[in-house]
Structure 1
Amino acid sequence: MNISVYLNSSYGKPGNIGFRVPEIVYALEGAGHNVTVVARANYSRDKVFVFYGYEFFGRALNAVRLYLFAFDHRWLDSSFFEVFSFIHLVLSSYSNHSPDCILCFEYMPSLIRYARRKSIIALTDVPISPESSRCVSKTTDKLTNQKTMMREISSFSSSDLIVVPSPLILEQVKNFSNSSIHCLRYTCQPKNLLEHDSYHASLNRRSSLLSSSTINYVFVGNISKRKGAHLLIDVWPNFLADNPHLICNLHLVGRQTDVLLSHMKLPNIFVHGFVDPLPILLSSHFFILPSNSEGYPKALVEALNCGCIPIVTRETGYDFSTASESILIEDRSIKALLLSLNKSIQALDKWEADSIMIRKCELSRPSYAQSYQQLFSSGFYA
């Protein structure tokens, strides 16, 4: 099968989408498919069709949003990438290597409708909670443009198949589409984790983490309000006051965005910046993410691989029905967050057993790329 992949992100660049797409491509090629990739930029040695200069256009839009005036730039960014992708698809559809299937990592309804008119199967990958579902639940940002949501809904209804990373996203997308929806639980077992020099040695030492009175909590991701970093910073002094017999450290790993630096000058809060999170995950007891919108974040999966007990909201996409070791943050409030943090202290006596169980469970799962390969091998397009 000839497959064209449309990725409005940087191919091969560390991160969620740009990181996992090459693995999917290699898995599909390994199964005998011919895969062509069209992307915003290419950080690998693979052959990728790139619209040169477009990456800087996306960055410019983001810079305007962050530093000049806030606006929803996603529909504009998506529309421009769709034009570039549309040109590629039209040209390729009249060539000897016309695609049998397109796989879109962006909401591009016009591209999808054109593909279907040409009898080309159209798949849309939904990596994060769509704005249209957040609008229904009244958690969407006030700045969200209606055009962003309309592009999402139109893509859902036009696609032959929608791929989602968690049951949460599946339920959200079902509200807007009669298309077939397939849930491929996102897993992440990359070489930089399993072949990391400190990985296996650190796992063997994790039982000693409870021998001291220091408990480490780690947050990985953009240090932003959407991910709940400001809530963590606000709640931490209260959490320390509730547990004076312990040293509870909060490690923030990621880029700082809309959370002010001055708020971070608090005891027991360490800001590491955008660095490799693996060494910090391996020395931490708990992974915490009070986010209000995710799909199934790569950082959470890496934390599970390292044996960190998750303290997360439902909006992360984490399946609490199959993991009794996890701790749910009921809602994004200081009170609920403090309650969940104190639950983690109460559960320290079984932390080691829970850590081992979570790690073994995560490492036993097939990789996300293998799941994609199995999806195409299942003959869904027949």
Structure 2
Amino acid sequence: MTKKNFLWFGSFGAIHKGLDILLDIFENRDDITLHIGGLSEEDRLLLNPEKRDNIIDYGHINVMSKEFLDIVNKCSFTILPSSSEGCSTSITTCMRHGLIPIVNKDSGFNRLLKNAIFLEDYKVDYINDKLTEYSNYNSGELDILSKNIYEFANNTFTIKVFESKFKEIMQIIINKQDD
């Protein structure tokens, strides 16, 4: 059941990105699973995650690989409980695969509006309770949300859209200089 599976997808600075909080939660539960992608060797040594069936550390993952697709197909959610990671590309990458982002409110993701689940706090007990709530959502509702997020992300987070918006902004700047 994918709604019981969460992907933390990051790189260097795992504590800064909230992985330590998630490990505190998942090391004390066995009803939900944490998939960890991109954990650096330095952070692995620092955090020393417990070896458990519900905590799966994949190490570095190539987002263009079958392995990455297999992981995102196991999960419903991508989670990044960072208090200062401004609109992480790991979240946008996962959204482009239909994963539902769970991110801290006011950390650069507010423009996602209804296309994300926002955490109001970063404390272990709060996030633990929220993970229980999210993992018990109705599967049909999660499917609809996932499809909406997939469409939003694939219409928003592409090179073509970036290029178009960049040209538009540059033209506004050029026009203001001509005034």
How far apart in 2 are the matches of 1:293 and 1:286? 20
Q: Is the 8 A contact 1:307 1:359 kept in 2?
A: yes
Tell me: CA distance 1:265–1:345, structure 2 relative to 1, closer, same or farther (3 Å).
Answer: same
Deviation at 1:292, TM superposition (A): 1.8
Candidates 81, 86, 102, aligned match of 1:295? 86
Q: Are residues 1:215 and 2:9 paired?
A: no
Residue identity in the other structure for 1:291: S
For structure 1, the 5+ residue unaligned runs are 1-211
Which residue of structure 1 aligns with residue 56 of structure 2? 270
* 1:47-66 superposed Cα distances (whole Å, 9 cap, x missing partner): xxxxxxxxxxxxxxxxxxxx
Give the AA of the match of 1:327.
I
* Alignment check: 8 A CA contact 2:34 2:56 kept: yes
1:370 is aligned to 164
SS in 2 for 1:303: helix
Q: C-alpha displacement at 1:326, in angstroms?
A: 2.8
Match of 2:132 among 342, 350, 361: 342
Could you tell me whether the CA contact under 8 Å between 1:220 and 1:299 is conserved in 2? yes
Alignment-mate amino acid for residue 55 of structure 2: I
2:35 and 2:58 in contact (8 A); partners too: yes
* Structure-2 separation of matches of 1:235 and 1:308: 20
1:370 Cα deviation from its structure 2 partner: 2.2
The aligned length equals 164
Counterpart AA for 1:373: K
Distance 1:321 1:274 in 2: 27
* Residue 320 to residue 377, structure 1, CA distance change in 2 (3 Å): closer
Measured in 2, the distance between the counterparts of 1:321 and 1:298 equals 13
Mapped contact 1:313–1:331 kept (Cα < 8 A): yes
Per the alignment, do residues 309 and 321 of structure 1 end up closer, same or farther by CA in structure 2, a change over 3 Å counting? Answer: closer
Deviation at 1:239, TM superposition (A): 4.1
What code does the residue aligned with 2:4 have? I
TM-score by length of 2: 0.79
The sequence identity of aligned pairs, in percent, is 23
Q: 1:368 to 1:239 in 2, by over 3 A?
A: farther
Is the Cα contact below 8 Å between 1:291 and 1:315 reproduced in 2?
Answer: no
In structure 1, give the amino acid aligned to 2:76.
H
Q: Which has the larger radius of gyration?
A: 1
**Pairwise CA RMSD:** 2.4
TM-score normalised to the size of structure 1? Answer: 0.39
SS at match of 2:6: strand
Q: CA separation in 2, counterparts of 1:360 and 1:275?
A: 24
The alpha-carbon deviation at position 273 of structure 1 amounts to 1.0
Checking the alignment, whether the CA contact within 8 Å between 1:239 and 1:338 is kept in structure 2 is no
| CA offsets 1:234-264 (integer angstroms, 9 cap, x no match) | 1013443xx4xxxx32111112434535333
Q: How big is the shift at 1:341?
A: 0.7
SS of residue paired to 1:257: helix
Partner in structure 2 of residue 253 of structure 1:
37
1:338–1:374 distance in 2 versus 1, CA, 3 Å: same
Could you say if the C-alpha distance between residues 270 and 296 of structure 1 is closer, same or farther in structure 2, counting changes exceeding 3 Å? same
CA–CA separation in structure 1 for the residues paired with 2:112 and 2:9: 24
CA-CA distance at 1:285 after TM superposition: 0.8
CA distance in structure 2 between the partners assigned to 1:356 and 1:268 by the alignment: 26
Which structure 2 segments of 5+ residues have no match? none
Secondary structure, counterpart of 2:33 in structure 1: strand
CA contact (8 A) 2:26 2:33 kept: no
